[in-house]
Each structure stands twice: as structure tokens, then as C-alpha cells.
Chains A and B, each alone.
Chain A
């Protein structure tokens, strides 16, 4: 299998070899060739190629020049560019070589359409080199004796061809080897450079299309030297604290080149270089003393050199070397200031003295200690106190007064000049005016207008305001002719409190303060708003001020934004000093969303949303509704009562059916006290002047004979007031039920006992008409509501009156106006109400006695009639207050007929074991 593939591969290679133009020299000869062979052409020029067919092919294959076609790569060249020179030569012409590509092939169309390649050439298109320009050279010193010269030039445009550059140089009678650049085409370095001979230097650029030569540069290499910088620099400090001496070595000997120098220096840690005046170092040298330096200061030095005449190049700066000047005594005293704490006692000061450490250029060495002197100027006899302090603050306990504090800083050489601080008893001098601030990049400028008096110094205090910690004071002292300073180290977005004190020769002015920001930002958070009170159409919002850390600037205003769910947002601007605001004109019973925004000069920040719902009713609205409704209800009730009262007859008719008047019954005659016959034709006789009706209802269990004893009847003695006689008269048994106490009888009868126990219950009503004053009552009647047949009662009157055993089980006693409530409500109508006194319990039980106008109660008994008479008068008086028509006149208006005249029975005495109807 493998050997078969080898045979196939060999056969394919043989065919390719025959067809290949390159095989012409081989065992198969090509049918033609192209002239020129692989040309290099200038870009943009014209070009003509000839394809020449071999005579042998003409005879063998009938191939002629007319059949030749030209191709660039695989693209056919238009036949307009062909020209058949003779039957074996065809030419093709290109007016612009930029359209050419590789390969250019000559082909034959054999037998009409079969295309066969005859020959092909590679065409290279490019540009001739341009003349190199801007040739310049520099001689670098490599070591003490070796110098290399590097020349650079501009090589010109890209040629698209392999172009060689070579740097050539020569002396008038000597040509040196060419310098051929490596990897680049614009520079070359000559290792050995000889000085003091003018050297001619030029560049040649060569490629297949030509050669270009730069303009020659004629230069003595010594004039283009860049020497090595000085080496082995050493620095020594002299006897003076302001001088350092530099010593160095030069790489280049004076025989070759004399040098001049530049010396630069700076304070260690500083970036700004200072330079020794060039004219001071313009001559050859290997040392130099630098003066005017600061004592006890570390300096960094660096040197460079160049040819003395200035022709050539400066060397690089040497490596940096440091040196320190020796110490000197401090140049000035430390700035000193104080804080006076009078919190313990106004007369006893705690004075915190503080001073700033001298700057290195002021201290001129290491400060060993501070010497503090305090002199009490208000008391010349007080000794001067001296303190040696190593820190930069000291606290003293002083009495209130004027003190002079002197401070000196001492180093190993000596003390500084003294700094003096006057502490007056009071800061009563004039303050600065027009204190203001202005941010300047990263500094905060503080300016003020000087007072009218001469100011020695100003003290500027500032501190970062914080809500969580005390203000840590920083301070600075400036001279009196200064009216503004830049505060450094000020942080942006922080509030600073700045205070300026003027210091006078004889005192101190009061401080003026101002708050300032270096840079403002919008608040870091917005205010949290909430409601304090919500009404129907208004809501009281409240919020807390942002802390100073959250403000990030001066709060210019608060903005309240509120809206309903689907409504437009309403914006209200509030003064920043406020913490409360009332929203008005709100819609009742509506959900509102409110948020609050705090604004500085640089933006705003909104706090969280807060929602609240307005109330449905406003304050007093409910009362305004409820009270009229209640009043209306009461009015209706009152009207209803009045209506009932007016229609009482009708009501009575329907509710209390007319009961036959017991007085008309024969049973009235059983009472032995009542005259058997009354003249009832005359109303005067019946109701002489003040008639009295007293109705009492007493239920007594009939089966309990003991219940009729005086103990059971005692409570009924408490009756105080009486109803009018007309009422008692007109209503009778039924009328009393429309009023008050008589209702009890109604309820009793509603309970069904009456109807159900008609045979067992006997109701009695006793109407007593007292005579006027000492007159004998003309008529006393009582009425019974007994459901028993009256006739039966009459028939059994004797039995009924005499023995209680035969009475029904339950009995009621009516007492007129027996209701206690009415007694209380009617009390104002009485001039005076006498208390009911108990009668002789042995003889009398539970009888009510009412007296008028101071008449004393009297025991019941034989005087009974009189008492009854007086009670009748009082009842007449009482009824006038009730607005009732129960007056004596009323009685006249409603005269009772003889038939209707009640006839009551009135048991005057109660025997033991019987009952006592009242």
C-alpha cells in the first residue's frame, strides 16, 4: 500500500516538472521566457515585458505569439496592453507599475481554450532611497579614555525595498571603516572617536533603485562631547553652620577637555532644587564651597559638567549626595498662645499655655528644652516663676489678673530669642472687623479688617466642629500687618469655626468668629420628617436638624415635598432654623406622602418618605353633630311627653279603662268616720279651699297577717309631697298611672296579677281631702281598684272592714303623690319642706304628714283630720309649680257631679291584726 502511494507521488512530481518554467534548464525545455527577468521597478513608472516563444514549440504545437495572454497573479491583463511584435514575441506594457503584482505570467491558449502557462517572473516595485536628512552626532564618554560617537538622521520615506544605510566618516587624508546600523535605519555608533581633528561625516542610503547621500557634517568630535558626570562626590561641613564643601573627581582630563560645572542642591525631603550661580562654577575645578545654607539642615547635592567653552552637551546629573550643616542657636522664639479655663471659678484661672515647635529652619538644631517665665504684672511684688518644659504645652493655675509669659527654646548651641505673650485680665480691646473666608483650592483663606488701633499680632484659632466631640483648637499667629492668611490642612465638606483675636501692646481684643467650609457638598442625608399632629385639613410636621457632620455645607433651606397618591407634588420651602411646619389646606381622610429635602449651596438630599392620613372630621365637628342631634332627640322626647300629657285622657282611656268609682259604691258607707251622707252638690263643700288628695299604694301579702303590723307600714311614713288634689281627683286611680307613682299600679296590673288574681287581689285607693287649716275636711273618699265585684264588697263590707282574713291575698294601698322622685324634683316649689316624723308607732303606722309654712308635724291620731286638711293645702301649692291645671280653680272648672263624687272609705284606726289603708 505504501509503495503504491510513492509511485503516484513520483508521477505527479514529474508532470509538474515538465510544466514548470523553471524546468527549462532541466530535461524538459520550456516553450518560452520573459524579458526582463524578475525586475525591480520604481513605483509609478511604466514597464514593458516581452514574452519570447521558442521556435521548437512553434513547430511542435502550432503556438504563436498571437495566442499569448498575460496575467498578473490570476487576473488577466487587458489585451489592449498587448502587442505582438512578431510571431514569437508578445509584449505587455503597464503605464503605472503600482498596478503590478507578482507573478506576471505569459500564457498560451492552446487549441482554442486550453490555457497553458509558458513563463512567469517576479516583479518587485519600490522607491529609490531619499536623501537622509538632519544628520547629527553626539560623542558619549564611556569611560575615562573611551568615547563613542552616535549619529542619527532621518532616513526618508519607506522604499518598500531592502535599503542599506551606512554612516561614513573621514579625515582629509584618512578614511575610516563605515558604520553600518544594526536593526535600525536611522542611527549608528562609532566606538572610537578621535578628537581635535575635523571629521567629515555623512550617510549613504542604497537600494536596488539607487543611492542617496546626505549632506556631510564636518565636526571636531571634541565639540559634541557629552562627558560623564563628576564622580566620588564628598561633602564636608565646615566651621560655619551655613557652609558645606563639595569635592569631586572628573572623568575627563584637562588635557582632553576643560570643564565647567553646574551644582544644584535642595533640602532633603524637599523637591525644589536650588542652583549655584553658573558663573561661580564656570571654570575647571574639583571642589566648591556652598554658602548661605541653613544650620542643621540636610542637603542633597548633584553636579554636572560640560566643555568649558559651552560647546557640546551637558553631562547627566551626578548621583545625589547628602550633607548636613552644623547646629546654630534657634533663630526665633516659638509662637505661644493660651486657653483660659474659668469654669471652676471666674477668679481662678486654669491657663493652658501651648506653643508650636520651631520649624527645622528656625530651631537650627535639636531643641533640648523650653524655658518658660511667668510674671504677674498686676502685682509687682509677686515673684517671677520659671519652668523648664520639654513638651510644647504647660498648664498653670493663676488668679485672675494680667500676666506676661516669656518662652525661649534652647538647643545645644544656645537659647532662642524670647517669645512674649501678654495675658490681660479681660479682652476688652477692639476686635477685628469684617471677618470673612474664601476657599482657595485646598486652602481656606481667612481675611479681616484691622481695628483702628495698632495691632502687634493676630491669633487665628480654628477647629473642626463636631456633634460628637469637642472642638480641638488649632491656632496660628501672624504679624499685625497681615490681614489674611491661608489655613492649611482644612478638610473639605467639614465645618470649621474660625476665631481671630487681635493682640495689642497693652492687651487683647475680643475674638470674632465665623463658620466656614473649604468646600461644600450636598448633605449626606436628608431630614427625617414625621407628623406631630394630624387634623382634617392640616398636619404639623416636625423634624430634627441634621448634625454638623451630615450637613456638608451650610443648610440654606429645607424643602417639604408632599403629595397624595395620585396627586401632584407640592413643594414648600422652609427656613433652615425651623424644625416644625404646618401643612394646611389638606384634603380630609387622604393619605399623604411627605418627604423633606435639605439643601446646601452644592446640592440637596432628600430624607425618607413619611406617610400620614388626614382625619375625616375636624375638631368639634363631631360635637357639632352630636349635640344638636341629642338636643333634637330631647326635644322630641319632651314634645312626646307633652303630647302624652295633653292627651292623657285619651291615653288613659286606652290604657286604663274607667273603673267604676268606688265612692259610688255602697262600700263607702262602711267607713264609720265618714259621714254617711255628704252634700256633694256644692263643690265648696266637697273641696273647701285647698282640697287634698293623697293616694298610696301598698301591696301587702294577704296571707301574712303579721305584715299588717306597724313594722311593715313604717316606710310609708316618708312621703313628703303631695300631688295636687285636682290631679288626684281627676285621674283617680287611672290618672295617677299617667304621672309617676301611680304607674306602679299599672305595672302591677300589667304583670297580670291583677287579671289573674282578680279573686285574690284587692286594690284600694284612698283619697283624702283635708280641710283647710283647722277646718274639718268636708269630704274624704277613697277608691278601690279592686277587681272584685263591688257589690260583693259592699255586701261584705262589714267583713271586709272588720277582718283581714277574708281579704284577698294581695292588697294595694294608694297614697297620693307618693313618688319619692317627684318629691325631689318638686322641691324648689316648696318654701320649706318638713320632714316627716313618725307617729307613735304603737298607735300609728306609716302615715305621711306634710306641713306647709313651718307647721310642725303632729302625731297622727285624733288630730288626723286637721293634718289631712293642711296636707291638702300644701298639695294645691305644689301643683302650681308643675304647671298643671291642678289648682283650686281647676277644681272649679271640673266640678264633679254628685254621681261622680268619690266616696272613700278611710279607716281611722288600725286595729291589731288588721290593715291600714291610707
Chain B
């Protein structure tokens, strides 16, 4: 994977993994806190079941152990790009619904959005270190053909979708930590690079 990785690149990769793990851990903690606030704010039942969010790859995956590093990074990047769009949409909807009345929830949502963006940046950097090109965002590609009009959802459906986004994000944060730890393990070819065994 990084057979010809230079010491500085290895250090950079290690640093990115470390920060990514920490960021994912914090993101999960913040999302969990945000979930409680969101459920309370939106008047939802915390135990309500929500269907899978469209456009977000599922965190749960079979044969996770068999995935390559690049594959992990690509799946993570796709997921967090989707979360970034969804969270931005949620933030917009939140402002439309509550205005400035609940600035706290909006700030927390914006903070999570920033963390998602930051994590996506980490993933892109890691992909660059893997000498792999960073795939373009789907939105950019679709802009040429014109994006399909988003399905118009009712207010309750928006709330449920938001709940589903946050739940899936929390799961993805856990998976991302595990993915990055897997990536951070020293490869046989890069034995000089110290392994990272950090808990989120």
C-alpha cells in the first residue's frame, strides 16, 4: 500500500490517522449528545425506528476484515460526503423551522457538520497519501446533468430523516475509528512506522 512511503509521508499518514481517530471519536460523542438534544427538541421518541437514509452507505458491512485500506477510505469518504450534504440540508431546514429560537441546537448541528467536513478532509488526505486520486463528489458530476429535484418531505418526515442521519452518523463514527485504526497498523513494508493503538 505504501511500499515506497517516505518517512515524512508515513509521519503524515500517522498523524492523519491519529487525528482522524480522535476526530471520529469526538464526532461520535458530539453526535450522541446532539441526538439527545435533537430528539427532545423535535419532540421525537428516542426509540422510534427510522428507515435507512437514502444516499448514505450503511456502516454495517459484511466481511469488514477483508476490506483494503483504500476501500475503507473510499467508503468512508462517500459516507461523510453524504453526511455533509445531509447535515447542511438539516441545518438549513432547522433554521427555516426555528429561526434563531434554538441557537444551541443549530450550533451543535453546525459543529457536527464542521467535524464531518474535517473528517472528510482527513480521508481525502489519506487517499492522496495512498497515491490514489480523490474521487469527485457526486453532486459535482450531477450538476452537469442537473440534479434531480429533491423529494419534497413533510416536516415530520424531515425530523425523522434528521434522526436517521444522526443515528447513522454515530454508527459511521464508530466504524471510522475502527477503519482508521486498521489503517494505522504498521504494514509489513513500513515497519519503521510505529503503530498506533489508540482508543477513541
Residues in chain A within 8 A of chain B (CB atoms): 145-146, 171-174, 192, 194-198, 220, 222, 253, 255-256
The reply on B193 being an interface residue by CB < 8 A is: no
The reply on B72 being an interface residue by CB < 8 A is: no
- Residues in A whose Cβ lies below 8 Å from that of B121: 171-174, 197
Q: Which of B38-46, B111-119, B154-162 is the interface stretch? A: B111-119
State whether B33 touches A196 (Cβ < 8 A). Answer: no
The reply on B19 being an interface residue by CB < 8 A is: yes
A35 to B26, CA, bound (A): 61
State whether B117 touches A171 (Cβ < 8 A). Answer: yes
State whether B118 touches A145 (Cβ < 8 A). Answer: no
State whether B23 touches A196 (Cβ < 8 A). Answer: yes
State whether B23 touches A197 (Cβ < 8 A). Answer: yes
State whether B118 touches A256 (Cβ < 8 A). Answer: no
Nearest CB of B to A468, in Å: 76
- Residues in A whose Cβ lies below 8 Å from that of B111: 145, 192, 194
A255 to B30, CA, bound (A): 9
The reply on B186 being an interface residue by CB < 8 A is: no
Inter-chain pairs besides A145-B33, A253-B29, A256-B29, 10 sampled, C-beta below 8 Å: A171-B118, A173-B124, A192-B107, A195-B22, A196-B118, A196-B122, A197-B19, A197-B23, A198-B19, A256-B22
State whether A255 touches B122 (Cβ < 8 A). Answer: no
Among A194, A222, A253, chain B packs the most CB atoms within 10 A around the CB of A194
State whether A222 touches B108 (Cβ < 8 A). Answer: no
The reply on B195 being an interface residue by CB < 8 A is: no
State whether B19 touches A255 (Cβ < 8 A). Answer: no
8 interchain residue pairs of minimum CB distance: A196-B23, A255-B29, A197-B118, A255-B25, A196-B19, A194-B114, A196-B22, A256-B26
Interface size bracket, B side: 20 to 34
Known interface pairs A196-B118, A253-B29, A255-B28; A145-B23 also in contact (CB < 8 Å):
no
- Residues in A whose Cβ lies below 8 Å from that of B125: 172
What are 6 residue pairs bridging A and B, where the CB atoms are less than 8 Å apart in the complex?
A145-B30, A194-B114, A196-B19, A197-B118, A220-B19, A256-B26
- The B interface is mostly helix, strand or loop, or mixed, namely helix
State whether B28 touches A194 (Cβ < 8 A). Answer: no
Kindly identify which residue among A145, A146, A174, A195 contacts B117, using a CB–CB cutoff of 8 Å. Answer: A174
A194 to B114, CA, bound (A): 7
B22 to chain A: closest residue by CB: A196
A635 to B59, CA, bound (A): 158
State whether A145 touches B22 (Cβ < 8 A). Answer: no
A146 to B110, CA, bound (A): 12
State whether A197 touches B22 (Cβ < 8 A). Answer: no
Known interface pairs A172-B121, A255-B28; A195-B33 also in contact (CB < 8 Å):
no
Among A192, A255, A256, chain B packs the most CB atoms within 10 A around the CB of A255
State whether A222 touches B117 (Cβ < 8 A). Answer: no
The reply on B20 being an interface residue by CB < 8 A is: yes
State whether B108 touches A194 (Cβ < 8 A). Answer: no
Nearest CB of B to A571, in Å: 89
- Residues in A whose Cβ lies below 8 Å from that of B29: 253, 255-256
The reply on B200 being an interface residue by CB < 8 A is: yes
Residues in chain B within 8 A of chain A (CB atoms): 19-20, 22-23, 25-26, 28-30, 33, 107-108, 110-111, 114-115, 117-118, 121-122, 124-125, 200
Kindly identify which residue among B22, B33, B107 contacts A222, using a CB–CB cutoff of 8 Å. Answer: B22
A173 to B118, CA, bound (A): 9
- Residues in B whose Cβ lies below 8 Å from that of A222: 22
State whether A196 touches B200 (Cβ < 8 A). Answer: no
Nearest CB of A to B51, in Å: 28
Nearest CB of B to A878, in Å: 157
A220 to B122, CA, bound (A): 13
Nearest CB of B to A347, in Å: 86
- Residues in B whose Cβ lies below 8 Å from that of A198: 19
- Residues in A whose Cβ lies below 8 Å from that of B23: 195-197
- Residues in A whose Cβ lies below 8 Å from that of B22: 195-196, 222, 255-256
A256 to B115, CA, bound (A): 12
State whether B20 touches A196 (Cβ < 8 A). Answer: yes
- Residues in A whose Cβ lies below 8 Å from that of B107: 146, 192
Nearest CB of A to B72, in Å: 18
Nearest CB of A to B104, in Å: 9
Nearest CB of A to B86, in Å: 17
Nearest CB of B to A300, in Å: 34
A220 to chain B: closest residue by CB: B19
Among A171, A174, A197, A256, chain B packs the most CB atoms within 10 A around the CB of A197
- Residues in B whose Cβ lies below 8 Å from that of A146: 107
Nearest CB of A to B55, in Å: 21
State whether A195 touches B122 (Cβ < 8 A). Answer: no
A174 to B19, CA, bound (A): 17
A192 to B104, CA, bound (A): 12
Nearest CB of A to B12, in Å: 11
- Residues in B whose Cβ lies below 8 Å from that of A145: 30, 33, 108, 111
State whether B200 touches A255 (Cβ < 8 A). Answer: yes
Nearest CB of B to A845, in Å: 164
- Residues in B whose Cβ lies below 8 Å from that of A256: 22, 25-26, 29
Among A196, A198, A222, chain B packs the most CB atoms within 10 A around the CB of A196
A198 to B23, CA, bound (A): 12
- Residues in B whose Cβ lies below 8 Å from that of A194: 111, 114-115, 118
A192 to B111, CA, bound (A): 7
Nearest CB of B to A446, in Å: 64
A146 to B104, CA, bound (A): 10
B112 to chain A: closest residue by CB: A194
State whether B118 touches A192 (Cβ < 8 A). Answer: no
A146 to chain B: closest residue by CB: B107
- Residues in A whose Cβ lies below 8 Å from that of B118: 171, 194, 196-197
A191 to chain B: closest residue by CB: B107
A746 to B114, CA, bound (A): 162
- Residues in A whose Cβ lies below 8 Å from that of B114: 174, 192, 194
Nearest CB of B to A310, in Å: 16
A314 to B119, CA, bound (A): 27
A88 to B74, CA, bound (A): 75
- Residues in B whose Cβ lies below 8 Å from that of A253: 26, 29
- Residues in A whose Cβ lies below 8 Å from that of B20: 196
- Residues in B whose Cβ lies below 8 Å from that of A192: 107, 110-111, 114
A220 to B18, CA, bound (A): 12
A194 to chain B: closest residue by CB: B114
